[in-house]
């Protein structure tokens, strides 16, 4: 399987932490929908479900440009450098229950919000500085079409708020941002920290991870991964974008989310 380098993956303990623990069964749900929360720029990020068409903004500069190529090979292998091998998707997702869906309903569109940045690094560890502040989180899943067939080579861009409640909009570390590509089975996976709720005007927003998916022949999908146990993720968040991500024995929250794309 293709190896995704984890930039600046630090202490071996972190690798052990992510890989060594039993992944266990992960709650599989389609995903939590995105709402556009207002940010300090006045744009909305997570305020509500997106009507059809709204998610196409910015599509022309989508992951295909800023991220890895269709084969997902960034050129950096890490595993061959002599340094300890970075965890792979296979490793961090080992044992994950990805399910065998027989009915695949398009993933709801959710607001992209104002905090997307182009050119997020090709990596599956979204916490390059090995920061603390919330529970470690591993999300695994697949990109599928409406017939539940895997979509290989889909470019997935992920971004979410940092533990202090701000998005990293400027630093070269691209904290809590990353780009990855699905393998031949449509599988992806990433590790990060649980996104925190942050303030949007007078509103505390639900915890959410923004995701943009681009694949040849399919309509771009912009959505969010949300959390079923988040009291702020009420009925205004579609159930298809809420996942269960329980803590495992190693203190890592693990969940699964399948992105269902439709043909362009
Ligand atoms: Fe957001």
User: Three-state SS for 140?
Assistant: strand
- Delineate the domains of the chain, giving CATH numbers in brackets: 1-264 (2.60.130.10)
Q: Which distant-in-sequence residues (6+ apart) come within 8 Å of 169 by Cβ?
A: 115, 117
Q: Give the pLDDT confidence score for residue 100 in this predicted structure.
A: 82
d(CA 250, CA 16): 10
Structure token pair of residue 13: 């303990």
Selection from 89-98, 99-108, 202-211 with the highest mean pLDDT = 202-211
For residue 226, report the distance from its CA to the centre of ligand 1, in Å. 11
Percentage of the chain exceeding pLDDT 70: 68
pLDDT digit string, tens, across residues 159-180: 999 999 999 999 999 999 999 9
The pTM of this model reads 0.76
More confident residue, 113 or 176: 176
Q: Do 153 and 72 contact (CB within 8 A), yes or no?
A: yes
Question: 205 alpha carbon to ligand 1 midpoint, in Å?
Answer: 8
The more confidently predicted of residues 233 and 39 is: 233
Alpha carbon of 46 to ligand 1 centroid (Å)? 6
Task: Name 177's bridge partners.
Answer: 159
What's the pLDDT tens digit per position in 9-44?
233 344 554 554 433 434 343 433 333 333 434 445
Higher pLDDT, 65 or 238: 238
Q: What is the mean pLDDT of the chain?
A: 78
Q: Which residues surround ligand 1, an ion (CB under 5 A)?
A: 45-46, 113
User: Ligand 1 mean position to 252 CA, how many Å?
Assistant: 22
């Amino acid at each position: 399987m293709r190896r995704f380098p984890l930039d600046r993956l630090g202490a071996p303990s972190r690798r052990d932490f992510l890989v060594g623990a039993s992944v266990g069964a992960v709650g599989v749900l389609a995903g939590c929908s995105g709402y556009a929360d207002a940010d300090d720029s006045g744009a909305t990020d997570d305020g509500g479900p997106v009507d059809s068409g709204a998610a196409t903004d910015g599509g022309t500069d989508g992951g295909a440009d800023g991220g890895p190529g269709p084969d997902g090979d960034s050129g950096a292998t890490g595993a061959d450098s002599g340094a300890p091998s970075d965890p792979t998707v296979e490793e961090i997702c080992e044992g994950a229950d990805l399910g065998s869906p027989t009915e695949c309903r398009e993933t709801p569109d959710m607001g992209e919000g104002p905090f997307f940045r182009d050119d997020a690094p090709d990596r599956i560890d979204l916490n390059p500085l090995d920061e603390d502040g919330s529970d470690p989180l591993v999300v695994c899943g697949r990109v599928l079409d409406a017939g539940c067939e895997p979509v290989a080579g889909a470019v997935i861009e992920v971004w979410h708020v940092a533990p202090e409640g701000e998005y990293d909009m400027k630093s070269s570390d691209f904290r809590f941002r990353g780009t990855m590509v699905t393998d031949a089975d449509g599988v992806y996976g990433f590790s990060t920290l649980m996104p925190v709720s942050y303030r949007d005007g007078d509103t505390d927003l639900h915890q959410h991870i923004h995701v943009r998916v681009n694949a040849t022949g399919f309509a771009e999908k912009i959505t969010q991964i949300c959390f079923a146990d988040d009291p702020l993720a009420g009925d205004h968040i579609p159930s298809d974008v809420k996942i269960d991500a329980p803590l495992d024995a190693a203190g890592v929250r693990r969940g699964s989310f399948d992105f269902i794309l439709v043909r362009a």
